[in-house]
Amino acid sequence: MMEQSRNGYEDCGDAELIRAAVGDPAAFEALFRRHAMLLRQWLLAQTHDVTVAEDLVAETFAQAWRGVRRFRGEDEHAGGAWLYGIARHLLQKYYRANAVETAGRRRLGMSTFADSDGGIEDVPARLDASALSDAVIEAFAALGPDQRRAVGFRVIEGLSFDDAAFRMGCAPATARTRVFRGLAALRAAIAGGGRP
């Protein structure tokens, strides 16, 4: 039987906490208190984005909570390794999902303002003008309306292709095509110094 301290499970090993969490959420809370800040720091070092790091920490613990019955680790380091394994998997998934947007933003020198509540019509105002040349702003403005909306939703606002497609009223494959064509037109215009 697991011995509890006055404050709960603080004296227990991680594997013990995870096994105890099957029947007592307080054990999982102790696991969270022990690892959440360190995990957040590690994810912040990987992503350089506080919001993303915090989202990944939350999702890591959500998946861990759902998986406590499947945990089979025995030694004192197994619980931490299990949590970091979940976090690493989520981080890789995040990188894969955002590879296109990140590459597009970097190539175009774009950034977004997470606190903006403006619509897609506000995109030029939300572009970081200090990081963009006039050529990028002009090239974006010169895109056709479908491509401008697609690039705006997907690359600038960071929506998934499914969400961008929903907002545009088209199929995800169509949204994907518009984004890629829009980015290609922007790259060509910027490289050539002319309009798309």
Residue 5 within a domain: no
Structure confidence at residue 151 (pLDDT): 85
**Residue 115: band (very low, low, confident or very high) from pLDDT cuts 50, 70, 90:** very low
Distance separating alpha carbons of residues 89 and 81, to the nearest angstrom: 12
For the chain, where are the alpha helices, taking DSSP H only? Answer: 14-21, 25-47, 50-66, 78-108, 123-126, 134-142, 145-151, 161-168, 172-192
Q: Tell me, what CATH number does 177's domain have?
A: 1.10.10.10
pLDDT tens figures, 49-87: 888 889 899 999 999 999 999 998 877 778 889 999 999
Which SS3 state, helix, strand or coil, does residue 159 take? Answer: coil
Whether 121 has a pLDDT exceeding 80, the answer reads no
* 69 and 135 housed in the same domain: no
Whether 7 has a pLDDT exceeding 80, the answer reads no
What pTM did the predictor assign?
Answer: 0.51
* 83 and 144 housed in the same domain: no
Token pair 């029947």 is at which residue? 23
Final residue belonging to a domain, choices 99, 124, 147: 99
pLDDT tens figures, 10-36: 778 888 888 988 999 888 888 898 999
